[in-house]
Structure formats: C-alpha cells, structure tokens
Chains A and B, each alone.
Chain A
Amino acid sequence: MTLDLAQFHETFFAESNEALDSMEAALLKLSAGDADLELVNTIFRVAHSIKGGSATFGFSDVAAFTHTLETLLDQLRGGKRHVDSGLVDTLLRSGDMMREMLAATQAKQPIDKERVAALHAEIELIMSSSGAGGATPVKASAPAPVVLEEGDARSGWRIHFVPGPKLLRNGNDPLRLLRELATLAPCEVRADAKWVPPLRELDPEECRLSWRVEVNGAVEESALKSVFDWVDGECDLNLEAFGPAAGVPVATPVPAVVPVAAPVAAPVIAAAPAMPAEEPAAPAPKAAPAAAPSAPQAAAGDGGSIRVSIEKVDELLNSVGELVITQSVLSQLAAPLEGRDAEELRSALGQLERHMRALQESVMRVRMLPISVVFNRFPRLVRDLGQKLGKKIELRLTGDSTELDKTVLEKIGDPLVHLVRNAMDHGIEMPEARIAAGKSAHGVIELNAYHKGGNVVVEVIDDGGGLKRDKILAKARERGLVGPDEELSEERVYNLIFAPGFSTADVVSDVSGRGVGMDVVKRNINELGGHVQIHSTPGRGSVVRIRLPLTLAILDGQLARVGSEVYVVPIVSIVETIQARQEQVSSIAARAQVFRLRDDYLPIVRLYDLFGIEPQHTDLLDGLLMIVEADGKRVGLFVDELMSQQQVVIKSLETNFRPVLGLAGATMLGDGRVALILDIPGVITRFQSRETQRDPAQRAA
C-alpha cells in the first residue's frame, strides 16, 4: 500500500493559515506591550506545528525557515531575549513570509528564495545579538509557566498514548511527537510492545506500540494537547496531571483531561509475545488499558468539529430549499379543502412548515461564520498603515462573534478594507492637527457588527475630521455630476463619494486618493443585496453603515404582478410604493415619462415593456409605482398589483438557464408558479440602455 500524503495537504494548508492568523493576533498583542509568556507560547506553538507539518510533507523550504524562526522564539520563550517593536515587526514579517511560502507551495509555484534568505539572515542576525536592548522582557502571565523550576519538578503529567491504526498511514509519527514532548519538559518514556504481533502478521504501516510518558514539569495542558493536535482522532490519548500543578496530591492522580479520541480497533492478537514488554517501575496510573481502548469520549468543554466541504453544505441547503417549496405547494393545495380531515391536514401542514423553517435556519447556520474571520485582518492593517501614515490610531472591534453567511463574509472583506484605509488616510487627522482641534492625539477607528431586523449591520466609525460637504459638492459640480444650482440633501452629497473616479484628495497616495475604491465598495455591497449609508459630522468623524443580508440563499421579497407574471422585488431596494396622480407624471420627448416625487423627478420603468409581456394595465393611474433605488439612482417601477411579501429561495438563472440583465434569479411560489427575482441595478441599466438606443431614432424622427 502506498502512503499518499498529498491527500492531507489541503487540510495542512488550511490549518496552517488559521494558525498563522492566531500567531499574528498574538504578535499584535505583544506589540501593545503585553509581552506575556502565554502569548509567546501561542506564537511558538504555531511555528512549531507548521515546522513539524512541513517537514512531514517534505516542504523543506518552509520547514527550514520555520525552524530558524522557532529557534528565535525559543530564545524569547526561555527569557534569553526581550520583546521590542523591531522584533515584533520581524516576527510579523516572518509570519507573512510563512504564509507566502505556504501559498506558493500549495499553488506549486516557486518560492522567492532571495527574499526568504534575506529575512532568514535578518533572523539569524537578531539571534546572534545579545538580546538585551532595554525592551520589554517576557513576563510570566497568570497561567503556570511552561516548566517550573527544579524544586517544583514533582508537578507534571502522565500520558498514555496508544496510536490508532491509521496514525502512521496519515503521515504522523510517534517518534516526532515524543521528540516534541521532550522539548516541553524532561520526559520518562516507557514503551509497551505487548501488542506488536509476529513480524509476518505485522502490518508495517500500522503502529502497534504504545507509550506511557511522564512529563516532569508544570507544563500547560494546552501545550501538551498542541503536541497531539495532528493526531486528534487518530489515537487514544489520556492525560493525567500530578503534583501541585494538578491541585491534587501526587499520590492520588486524577484524570485531568479525556481528549476526544477515535475508537481504536481492538488488537487482533490476544497472545502476548514471548518477550515480555517492559513494565513500568511504579504502579501504572489508573488509565484505560491499551488492550481495551475506551469508547470515544468528548473532552470537557470541547465540542469537537469536523471539516465539511462547502459544496456538501450547499447541496443540503438546496435540498432544504426544495422541501420548503414542496411544503408551500402542499399548503396551497390544502387551502381550499373543507371538512374535519382538511382541518387536521392544515394543522399538520402548519407544523411541517414550522419544522421546515427550523431546518432551513439550522442548515443556513452551518454556512455561517463569525465576522471575526474578516475583522481579524484589521489589527495588522491598522498597525502597519498607521505607522506608514505617521498617525496614531487605535482600533476597536465589537460584535466580532456576529455570524454571517460564508459567501457574504468572503465578499465583504475587501470593501471593509477600502473603508478602513480611507478612514485612516482621509478621516483621521495627523496627531498635531488632532491636538490643535482639542482631540486626543490618538485617533479611533471602530468596527462594529450587530444583527438588526433580520440583517447584519457593519459599521466603520472614525473620530476624524468628517466629510467636507462643501468640498465634495464643489468637486461634483466641477465634474458635472451636480448642476451649478442644484441643491442636494446631506445624504445625497455624501453618496457622491461613491461615484466612479470621485476623489477630493489633494494628494494621490498609494493608500487612497485616486477615487478608485469607494465605487467598488458600493457596487460590491449592492451585489450582495446590501446597502451602504454615510453619516458625517464636521470635526467629529464619520460613520459608514453597511446593511447586509444574513444569507444569499434566501431573500425577503415583495411579490408584484405584471399581467400574468409575478416578479419578486428585493425589499431592501424598495423605498416606497405609491399610486400615481396625473399631475405628477410628465412626458419627455415622445415616449419617456418621469414622475415627480416631492423634489425629485424619477424615470418610470414599465416592467411589461422592459421584459416584453402582456400587461393588465398600461395607464399609470391604474397600476402602482414602486420606487426602487440602486447605486444612488431611483426609478419608479410600474406594476399592475402588489401581492404578498415573503422569503423566497433563490435559484440561480445562470446555473439553470443563462444570465439575464435585470434578473437576479428565479424562485418557485407556493402555487407552483415560477417567479423571476428582479435585480434592481440590472433593471435600471437595462432601462437606460433601451432609452439610449431609442433616442437617436427619436431624434431622427
């Protein structure tokens, strides 16, 4: 049997990147002056795990670089080196380099060896220096240090480690694990060979040895567990603390942890080999014998998790969506029925509907991830950019456990980066200017996330100088975006910064100022079915508030009928719905009509005309006008009738048919009819494009 380690590469890359995120977060806390040992240990463990994994998979460049980094971290951990901002900077860049090397390895691209060598040399140079430097020494934090002084050597852990049948095949090696354990504290290892069968019957890719290890030192449980991270579920592992660190007398060890363990096949060979296994000198701790590994037990406080591909979750979600539609069809069929049986049927269907909703929500929650996945990139960004701009900026994150659909999360990251960079570059003033304005020299940027009305709201708040209304308006007039005498509300003025290419920056920097970005921000948010608003107070700062749907799989829609067709209009796009009066409607040229809504004139989009269907009404006074907005543009959609509002399951037109401008997808209604879901920005673009095509003809006429 050939061992194919490649099957584990993707997991290794994914887990390494997650580990590097933790390392970066810990490093950024170090830079804040909180150079405690627990943080250093966290950073060390990441480097150590990635080194071990890289070596196992043969990624020698990554392993070699990480090994050097680990040596430096070990100096830090051992108190031989002090923490200063320069060191943190180097460590942050080393984390970036590891990420880069892993990405290149994953993509089977060459690694930039020159840059790796330069950073490697920099680390070597640091290691060869004395390390004193008057900076923050590493201090022990509240948890017990990794290893106590010699006098406390009675504390420690007893480990019973029984490798499972797949451990070796999966590229793990007890030899490496035992070496790692020995780096934590002095270890006494006892091998147990009683389950090693005769050579002829031995599967050479299955480990039949087991070990009892006494770790002599008050090592943290998390440090021990991290050694076995890679074999979680592939071994039977029992940890028992002893001595003062365990809080119990040495003579009466009690199980401290029962980690999650996969069931290990019972040994096939019952007879012990002729050579007796080495027996421990002292009575064995009260652990489950290797011969009868215990059933899997959940670790206290550790719920455990599994990785599932997003495709599988989407398949599940899709099936649930189909069930919701079927249930809706059943409810409609049952509605006209009469009699006692019909009543009971409707009652059962009502119950089915409640269960379906619960099931749908549960499945959708599987796709949900905390927004911290996105927020976590900002401490580093704010630190680095703050240094570059010469500004002192504090970042405050709240609501980072707020959950959002994975796809929404993936797409909101870049817009948020744009907004934060803009706030740092244009919003927050230089320290001198802030002091002169009576503010603290430190600017503050807040990122908040919270649930509101079935949506998630994400806010980017800065306490800088605020948007300069007059400057924006002047620039917009200069560019012809606003007429010379046209007056705009505050909101519309601030919305101008989302116009393509719009910038009021006097100096174009590589941070911002080219006017590229804010329009993309708005477009990306709109594409997610979201909405962005800006509020600003001169001298006090700005708030950019983004409202996002919880998921892209379902949509809150308003059903509207046009002739015999039903359209779903996303509720997020609807401003209001009105019945037009004759005096509000004006005609422009031969065909185009506008509608006066208070101080604005809005184009009228006749859906029947746009999509070529037979309407019930053609007279504006007979139907309804839905005022919808997208990209700062408002139009009135002319429809025959409004129907109910409901959540609809979105089916992709692109996947099932082809993309159609103005349509975001389709859904099936309770009566089995297919309704098309409008994409309001697309509807406006389609309408404008038709009007432009008609104009020359009209002019010619």
Chain B
Amino acid sequence: MSPAPQPANGRVVLPANCTIHGARALQAHLLEQLELPGPCEIDGGSVQHVDTAGVQLVLAFALDCLERNLQYVWKSRSAALEEAIRVLNVGALLEYPA
C-alpha cells in the first residue's frame, strides 16, 4: 500500500519560458528544491514555451527525487508542457510511482 501523500514543503514553479535559454536558472532553482526536506509540488501551469532541454531538467529533477525518496506531486501542467511531455514520451518517467 502506498503511503498517503504528505503536505508539500517545497514548491517548484516552472517558468513561462522553460527552454534552453533559461536552463541554468531553472537548474539552480531545482537544485535548491532538492535540498529541502519532505515532499514537493511541481507547478507547470504557467509554462508557455518549452523545449527538450526544459523537459530534460524536470526529468532529471524527478529522477533525483526518486533516488532520494523525496515525494513530489504535479500541481498542474500547461497545454504546452503536456504536449511536449507527450511528444517526447517521458510522461511515465515524470510521475512519482504510486
């Protein structure tokens, strides 16, 4: 039986421009969140532009969370982000296993 979701301590807000152009800043933001204890919430609702570099960063973050047993939950995803995740077919990798 999977553990009940805990209230999020951290919150990752993906920027509107989630592309290679802002990749270093997003990486820094994600690394900060990794250092926080407890579950975190990812908000991708305001992403307007996204590319592979942006998705790959979020994916690396998600994989690190799994390795550290840090729970995360998706709060929302914009249509642009959903489309990119679908085309790159990384949806399953981005979900925290139930």
B-binding residues in A (CB < 8 A):
3, 168-169, 173-175, 178-179, 182, 189-191, 193, 196-200, 202, 204-205, 207-209, 211, 273-275, 277-278
Contact = CB atoms under 8 A, between A and B. Distances in A.
A274 B31 contact: no
A189 B89 contact: yes
A189 B23 contact: no
A350 to B, nearest CB: 60
Given A193-B59, A198-B60, A209 B90 contact: yes
A200 B60 CA distance: 9
A189 B87 contact: yes
B53 A205 contact: yes
Nearest to B86: A189
Contacts of A198: 60, 63-64, 67
B89 A191 contact: yes
Contacts of B90: 191, 193, 209
23 contacts: A168-B20, A174-B88, A175-B50, A175-B87, A179-B87, A191-B90, A191-B93, A193-B59, A193-B93, A196-B63, A198-B63, A198-B67, A199-B31, A199-B34, A204-B27, A205-B23, A207-B53, A207-B56, A209-B56, A209-B88, A209-B90, A211-B89, A278-B89
Interface in B4-59: 20-21, 23-24, 26-27, 30-31, 34, 50-53, 55-57, 59
B52 A207 contact: yes
Contacts of B92: 278
Task: Determine chain A's interface SS by DSSP, over half rule.
Answer: loop
Task: Determine chain B's interface SS by DSSP, over half rule.
Answer: helix
Interface in B46-86: 50-53, 55-57, 59-64, 66-67, 84
B89 A208 contact: no
Given A189-B88, A189-B89, A193-B93, A204 B67 contact: no
Contacts of B88: 174-175, 178, 189, 191, 209, 211
A395 B22 CA distance: 54
Contacts of A182: 87
A487 B21 CA distance: 77
B52 A175 contact: yes
A55 to B, nearest CB: 11
Closest 3 interchain pairs by CB?
A204-B23, A274-B67, A189-B89
Given A189-B87, A190-B89, A202-B27, A173 B51 contact: yes
The contact size tier of chain B is 20 to 34
B25 to A, nearest CB: 9
Nearest to B23: A204
Of A200, A209, A278, which is in contact with the most chain B CB atoms at under 10 Å from its CB? A209
Nearest to A277: B93
B27 A209 contact: no
Of B57, B62, B88, which is in contact with the most chain A CB atoms at under 10 Å from its CB? B88
A205 B20 contact: yes
Contacts of A173: 51-53
A501 B43 CA distance: 75
B26 A204 contact: yes
Contacts of B61: 199
Contacts of B62: 275
A200 B31 contact: yes
A196 B56 contact: yes
Given A191-B90, A193-B59, 19 more contacts: A168-B53, A173-B52, A175-B50, A175-B51, A178-B87, A196-B56, A196-B60, A198-B60, A198-B63, A199-B31, A199-B34, A202-B56, A204-B56, A205-B53, A209-B90, A273-B63, A273-B67, A275-B62, A278-B93
Contacts of A211: 88-89
Nearest to B27: A204
Contacts of B89: 189-191, 211, 278
A204 B24 contact: yes
Nearest to A204: B23
A197 to B, nearest CB: 7
A193 B20 contact: no
A275 B66 contact: yes
A374 B90 CA distance: 49
A273 B67 CA distance: 8
A169 B24 CA distance: 13
A189 B90 CA distance: 9
A197 B61 CA distance: 10
B33 to A, nearest CB: 10
A274 B53 CA distance: 21
Contacts of A207: 52-53, 56
Given A3-B21, A168-B53, A173-B52, A202 B60 contact: yes
Nearest to B84: A175
Nearest to A198: B64
A173 B93 CA distance: 20
Of A178, A202, A211, which is in contact with the most chain B CB atoms at under 10 Å from its CB? A202
A189 to B, nearest CB: 4
A184 to B, nearest CB: 14
Nearest to A56: B51
Contacts of B56: 196, 202, 204, 207-209
A42 B88 CA distance: 27
